[in-house]
A = this chain, B = another copy of it.
Amino acid sequence: MHNKSPKKNWRVKLHEIIYEADTPEGKLFDVILLFAIIASIVFVMLESIKEFDVRYHNFLDIAEWVITIIFSIEYILRIIAVKKPFKYIFSFYGIVDFLSTIPKYISLIFVGTQVFIALRALRLLRVFRILKLARYLGASNMLANSLKASRAKIAVFLFAVFIVSIIFGTLMYLVEGEASGFTSIPVSVYWCIVTLTTVGFGDITPVTPLGQFIASFIMILGYGIIAVPTGIVSAEYVSQNRDKVSNPPSPTAVDLNTEACPNCSVERHKDGAKYCYSCGHLLREYE
């Protein structure tokens, strides 16, 4: 532990700054990154508004190039700082980071691709890491668990919505015809989904008495169907709340740690952990 090479030391330090949010430097890095992400999304949005684009085109273009270069450097540093770079590259965040950087370069060749920069919104998910809010991590875990536990039920429910939409969509196409905007079965199915989900744009509406009668039936059905996913999720939450009362909340405390393994990038180590629970690598080599 005492005779570390200077290069290793530098890499470990880099890993700490980029991947973790426990040290002041790591926190600063994350906050700067967060602002860069938000700025980049705002610039893409402003660029899409014609009046802005006409006036400030050059400024917006330069600002985006600056941010893209910052992101490119960050991406390369992330690859360097990790011992197993491919594990990072093909991880969820690795792919998001890549997709957030590349569109601006491609826009040099193909016009219009820079709008994909909106994918950078996904990078905002890092915000939870930065804020170190275990509560939010716990809450999002609970959300994810509820959805996972209800997966089968939700699949059955979506399948039912799908079949109902096809059958009633076709029926409405037959009843209403093209005069009211039900120009084809796919459009009718689209209208049926719009109605079942109670969105109701009103771009296509039934005008015949029979069509309005069937539409009323679909709406009341949708009204009833909306109860199903809500009921499923509610029941899951209730049973999760009940479990949490009987068990101590210690497992959530584990999630507090924002450390990432310098070898395999796995996160969520126990607070006092010395070695990575996944690859067995030493977590803080320089200590």
Contacts of A189 in B (CB 8 A): 45
Q: With the chains together, A261 CA to B50 CA distance in Å? A: 58
Q: With the chains together, A143 CA to B197 CA distance in Å? A: 19
Check A5 for interface membership: any CB of B closer than 8 A: no
- Cβ-defined contact, A184 with B50, below 8 A: yes
Given contacts A142-B153, A224-B229, contact A121 B167 (CB under 8 A): yes
Distance to closest chain B CB from A48 (angstroms):
4
Q: With the chains together, A133 CA to B147 CA distance in Å? A: 18
A residues contacting the other copy or chain, number (CB 8 A): 88
- Cβ-defined contact, A223 with B197, below 8 A: yes
- Cβ-defined contact, B219 with A167, below 8 A: no
Given contacts A133-B152, A142-B153, A235-B238, contact A187 B202 (CB under 8 A): no
29 A-B pairs within 8 Å (CB atoms) are namely A41-B166, A45-B186, A48-B173, A48-B185, A49-B185, A116-B170, A118-B170, A118-B171, A135-B152, A136-B155, A161-B223, A186-B209, A187-B212, A194-B200, A197-B222, A198-B200, A199-B199, A200-B202, A202-B203, A203-B205, A226-B230, A227-B229, A227-B234, A230-B230, A231-B236, A231-B237, A234-B235, A235-B240, A239-B245
A residues apposed to B, CB below 8 Å = 41, 44-45, 48-50, 112, 115-116, 118-119, 121-122, 124-125, 127, 133, 135-136, 138-140, 142-143, 146, 152-159, 161, 163, 166-167, 169-171, 173-174, 183-187, 189-190, 193-195, 197-203, 205, 209, 212-213, 215-216, 219-220, 222-224, 226-242, 245
Query: Which 3 pairs show the lowest CB-CB distances between chains A and B?
Result: A235-B237, A231-B233, A118-B170
